Amino acid sequence: MEGLKVSDANLVVYVHPSKSKKVSQAVLRELGAMLLKFDERFEGVLLAYDAKITDKSAKILSGVHPYFGVTLKAKLLLFSPKPNMLLEGKVVKLRQESVHVIVLGFASAAITDEDIRDEFKHRTKHEEEMFVSRAHKHHVIKVGTMIRFLVKSFDEEILHISGSLVPSHTGSIHWLEKNSIEGSVTDRRRKKTRDNEGESLLQDSVATDVNALILNNDHQSKTKKQKTSRIS
């Protein structure tokens, strides 16, 4: 899935003096407070981190509460969706006018009817709403379906994504991947069939040439025998 990236960063975490005896715990608590929030410095939502304190000599800051800064070197996993990126998520709600999705378990996404391609038709079966493809009846989107969709925009404050199912390479991930595999298998089978046909034609051609050579040799042998009989 697009929108995920790993970034190396040098950070300074400010710790209250009362936590001076438990600096590691205080640092982890501060980093934990940054999780699942959009950070302009990293241009993304922090999903995970792996941090290591690089300088044990903390810098004391002057002020009413003299916090001290702890220098870290961290590897960050960030979620930073941009327009035209492909994301994947689970459908949690579906109506005739919209499809609602959860991405990575925390970000919400909505796809309105104007961004759902005409191929999909809304249906209700056994009181369950779904979108079914007119071209491929097994291509179905309903609550619980994992789908791949295109990003139109991303609201960084509320972590909300506006998506689209207009491109042909979007829709149910299961259906897209299954048909992609079947398509590649079919192509390989067709290629193998063409290769076998070519090999068969080659074998037939070789066999024809060999038979012609044998007949020619037989004919020459018979001619020689006839000439020898005449001479004798």
Q: What does the pLDDT look like over 109-119, one tens digit per residue?
A: 999 999 999 99
> Which of 42-51, 87-96, 128-137, 183-192 shows the lowest mean pLDDT across its residues?
183-192
Dump pLDDT digits (tens) for 187-208.
555 555 555 555 454 445 444 5
CATH T-level fold of 4-79: Dna Ligase; domain 1 (3.30.1490)
Domain with CATH 3.30.1490.120 in the chain: 4-79
How far apart are the C-alpha atoms of 176 and 205, rounded to whole Å?
43
Is the CATH number 2.40.50.140 carried by domain 85-182? Answer: yes
Which residues, in sequence order, are CB contacts of 91 under 8 Å at separation 6+? 99, 100, 101, 141, 142, 143, 144, 145, 146, 147
Domain with CATH 2.40.50.140 in the chain: 85-182
Q: Is the pLDDT of residue 2 over 60?
A: yes
Mean pLDDT over each residue of the chain, to the nearest integer: 82
Q: Which residue has the higher pLDDT, 175 or 206?
A: 175
Q: Which residue has the higher pLDDT, 216 or 128?
A: 128
Give the Å distances, CA to CA, from 172 to 68, 83, 111, 145, 227: 51, 20, 14, 7, 82
Question: Which pLDDT score, from 0 to 100, does residue 186 have?
Answer: 46
- Residues 45-55, mean pLDDT to the nearest whole number: 89
Task: Using CA atoms of 117, 152, 130, 175 in order, give the dihedral in degrees to the nearest 10.
Answer: 80
Q: Is 154 helix (H, G, I), strand (E, B) or coil?
A: strand
pTM of the model: 0.71
